[in-house]
Amino acid sequence: MSIHLTLAQRAIIEAELEQRQIDLEKQISGELGGLSRVEHAREVLLQDDDDAPARDADREVDLARSDQDIDELRAVKDALIRLRTSVFGICKDCSAEIPFDRLQHSPQVLRCIACQSAFEARQGNGPHATI
């Protein structure tokens, strides 16, 4: 385990991650109506409506929202796994310790602010990392 975080700090982060996981699972279940992602997409595609263009836009937004939530849930679960290892809170690029404030704000982060900014610049997203 990384020693730069105290047991109390780890407990705070773990509680926040677990609560976010619960919230996301509820949100995804509501968005998908209890169906799997594939079943939900099929149901949305099969809906007939006279307003097809508006329906297409709604479908795209609906599917994008559920995809985003599913991706975040995966990141939260991965963070919970890492929290129990020595790599949690260590930047995957430069191996620097990620400050507790940043981890508390975004516990699923993999990089320190400098490396995240560089990563986003390489991806063409420009600098956005904070805390």
Q: Write down the pTM of the prediction.
A: 0.75
Helices 52-83 and 37-46, axial angle in degrees (round to 10):
170
Interval 22-71: pLDDT, tens: 999 999 988 777 776 677 667 766 765 556 666 667 777 777 888 899 99
- pLDDT for residue 15 is more than 80: yes
- Residue 123's SS3 state is helix
- Residues for the chain: how many in total? 131
What tokens appear for 17 in the block?
Answer: 């991650």
Percent of the chain with pLDDT over 70: 79
- What was the pLDDT predicted at 52? 62
Cα distances (angstroms) measured from residue 92 to each of 71, 88, 98? 19, 9, 10
- What was the pLDDT predicted at 126? 55
